[in-house]
Amino acid sequence: MESTWRLCLQLFLSGGGILVFFFYPLLNSDPSNLLDCSHYSPWCTSKNRIQATSGRVFSDVDSSRRNHLMVVPHHPLDPLTFQEILRVRSVLFSHELFNSSSISSVHSLDLDEPEKSDVLEWKAGEPLLPRRAFVIAFSEGRSHLLWVDLGESRVIRHEVSSSSGYPMLTSQDLEVALSMPFADPQFNRTVLARGVLPSQVECVPLPAGWYGRYEEGRRLVKVQCFSREDTGNYYMRPIEGITAVVDIDAKKVVELTDHGVGIPIPKAQNTDYRYAAQTKTSSSPEMLPVNPISMEQPKGRSFIVEEGHRVKWANWEFHLKTDARAGVIVSRAMVRDEITGELRSVMYKGFLSELFVPYMDPTESWYFKAYLDAGEYGFGLCATPLNPLNDCPRHAYYMDGIFAAADGTPFVQSNMVCIFERYAGDVSWRHAEKSSREKIREARPKVTLVVRMAASVGNYDYIVDWEFQMDGLIHIKVGLSGMLLVKGTGYERVDQVAEDEDLFGTLVAENVIGVIHDHYLTFRLDMDVDAPENSFVKVHLEREETPPGSMRRSIIRANKRVVKTEKEAQIRLKLYDPSEFHVVNPSRRSHVGNPSGYKIVPGGTAASLLDPADPPQVRSAFTNNQIWVTRYNRSEQWAGGLLTYQSHGEDTLAVWSERDREIDNEDIVVWYTLGFHHLPCQEDFPIMPTVQSSFHLKPVNFFERNPILRTPPYVDGDLPVCRTVAST
C-alpha cells in the first residue's frame, strides 16, 4: 500500500492534473479484508479519468436496493455477485499464473453463461445451473483465458490466446500511461516550452491502434494533453501536437513528438458549460423560462423488478443485467399474447457489441484516432452514475453494476442503469369516425418502459435506451452528447484559411477545429421468435409496370425471399432499392397462415466511407454492412473480436460471416449497425446538444391482431389535477 500512496503523491506533486485515488489492496491480500467499507475500489469511467468510488462498496441512493454483500443469484443469467467475484479472486490467486514471480492482471471477470439450451430448459424454482466465471488475464505479454467453476472452486480450463489483440485496458494500465510522461524530463520540458505549467496539464490515454510493425509485440498508449487553466472544460484547450507514446508493460515513454510548435492554446473564455458559469454572464439576454415538467404516477410504478434482474411490465418480461464491456444486456425478452395469455419468446439476448469512432485527420498527431470503445475501454466500465430528475425521471428504479478491478477486487458502479415508464403525450393508436349513425372517437396514450444507461467515454457521452412498447415493439435509441475532440490551430477566422488548405473539420471557435468523425454502434440481437429456430426473410420492394388497360402506370410489389446463407445476409441499406428484413419462425403460423415474425426497422443511419483496406476499417470491418445475420455461436459475442486492443482484424463479425454457414430455419443472430457522420458546427461548442438515432424491432404477423385493443383509455380521476401557480 505504501508504494501506491507514493505514486499518488508523486502524481499530485508533479502537477500532472491527474489526481489518482488508488487504494488497491495488495495482490496477495486476504479477500475477507475487502468486506471492510473503508476500502476504495478503482473504476475507470472514461479515457481521461481514473476515479474512486464514493468510499463505500454499498450504495444507499435507493432505499429498496439490497446490500450487495447479501445478494445471491436466482437466475442462470444473473451476473456474478459481489461474493462470487471474491470467490473467483481467491481461486485465481491460488493458481500458478498468479502465484508465479511475474505480475498478472485481471482484465475481464464475468459470468460464463450456461449453454443456451440449458437456460431455455431451466424453470424458476429449479436449482441453479452450475455457476462459472470467464476470466481474461494478462501476464508477460500474453493473454490468458481461464474458466473458473464456482461450485468446485477451481480453474477448470486455461488457454493462452494466439490472437493478435490484447484485452481491454485496466485502470492500472491507464494509471501507468498517465503517470509515465510526467516522470519523463523531456516531456515536462516540452510542455513548459509551450507555455503551460505541468500543474495545469490534463492528459488522456488513447489507444495506438494497429498500423504495422511499430505496434507489434508491445502494448502502446498514446498520451495527449490539454490545459485546464481557468476552465472546467479542458477538452477545448488542446496542447496541439504533443504525443507521448507509452509502453505500459515496460512502464516508460518510448517516443515523444511535438508537431504543434507555434500553434497557440485556445483561450479558456466561454468554454465552461456548467450552469454556474452561465449565470455569471449578466450581459446575456433574458429568455422566457421553461417551468419544470414531470410525469407523475400517483399509484407508483407499474413495473416490477424481481430478484434484482427480472423485469415485469404490462405484457413484457425480460432479464436485465449490467456488463463491464457491453453496458447492459437484455435477455429472455418475452411478450404475453393478449388473446391466449401465452408468454412468447422474442429475443434471447441483445446488447451493444462494439463501437467504432474514426477521426478523419490523416496528420501525425491524429491518424491513429480510431477507437473501439467497448473492446478497448469497456463501455460498461465507462458508465457514470445517472442523475435523478435530469438523466432519469422521478419514479425511476436504479440498478448498480458489480465489476472486478485489475486485481480481481469487486467494486460497485452506482446508479449505472435506470428503469422508468415514459409518457410524452404520444398516441398509441386512435381513430375518429363521423357518420350519420354514430360518432366514434377512440384514442389510447402511448406509455412505454425505458431501460437507460449513459457512458462517458472520455470527451463523448453516449445515452443508450432500450424502450419497450405494449404493442410488442422494441425501440433501441442512442444519443450522443459531451464534448468534441478538437484540434488546435493558429486560425481565428475562416477567412484566414487558404482556399486549398484542408482543416479536416470546422473552425468552431477561435483556434479550435472540430475534426470530422464517425460513430458506429453495432448491436448483437439473438432473436428467438417463438423458438430458437428462425429464418431471415428479405422482402424486396420493387416497381412493377401495370398491364395494358390500367389507369396506373406502375405499382410496388413485395417479393419475399428466404435468405439461405450468411453471405447472402450481408445487407447494405439503399434508399432507392428498399427492402424489409424479417426474422420469422416458419413453424409458428397465424390463423391465416403467416409465419410469426419480427422485422428490423432501420432509422436514420450512416455507412462507412473508408477504404476497406484502411487499417482502422480492417479492424472494424463489422461496419462494412448495416445488417448481418450469422448462425448462433456462443463464442461470437464481440463484433470486433474478443481481444480488440491493437488487434489486426482477424477475429471480427466480417470474418465469421465469410464462413457462409446455413441460416435457414436455424438458431440465428442479427447484427445491426447504427451510424452517425459528424461534421462539427459552432453549435457543438463548448458542449454538444444531444443528437439521436434509433432502430426498431417490430412484430410482423406475430400477433393475431392489434395486441393493445384492450388497453383502457385514461379518464378524469385517473390522474391528479395539478394547479398552475399564479404568475405575475
Q: Note whether 165 and 149 are within 8 A (CB).
A: no
Task: Give dist(CA 413, CA 269) in Å, integer.
Answer: 34
Axis crossing angle, helix 2-14 with helix 171-179, rounded to the nearest 10: 40
The DSSP bridge partners found for residue 693 are: 478
Q: Which helix (H) or strand (E) holds 466?
A: strand 460-469
Question: Pairing between strand 579-589 and 595-602?
Answer: antiparallel
Per-residue burial over 342-369, b if 16 or more Cβ lie within 10 Å, else e, is eebbbbbbbbbbbbbbbbbbeeebbbbb
Query: Is 460 part of the annotated catalytic residue set?
Result: yes
Q: Calculate the alpha carbon distances from 46 to 309, 384, 517, 539 in Å.
A: 26, 9, 19, 42
Nearest to 242 by CA among 368, 370, 367, 364: 364
Task: Give dist(CA 303, CA 238) in Å, integer.
Answer: 46
Look up cell 484485452; give the residue: 167
Q: Note whether 298 and 719 are within 8 A (CB).
A: yes
Which of 173, 373, 407, 461 does the annotation list as catalytic?
373
Q: Determine how many CB atoms are found less than 10 A away from the CB of residue 306.
A: 13
Task: Give dist(CA 221, CA 232) in Å, integer.
Answer: 25
Which of 40, 377, 460, 520 does the annotation list as catalytic?
460
Q: Determine how many CB atoms are found less than 10 A away from the CB of residue 264.
A: 15
Q: Which amino acid is at 158?
A: H
Task: Give dist(CA 410, CA 34) in Å, integer.
Answer: 8
Per-residue three-class SS string for 618-639 = HHCHHHCCCEEEEECCCCCCCC
Q: Calculate the alpha carbon distances from 158 to 96, 562, 674 in Å.
A: 11, 41, 36
Map residue 564 onto helix, strand or coil: coil
Q: Determine how many CB atoms are found less than 10 A away from the CB of residue 430.
A: 11
Q: Which amino acid is at 535?
A: S
**Cβ partners under 8 Å of residue 548, min gap 6:** none
Q: Which positions are annotated as active-site residues?
A: 373, 460
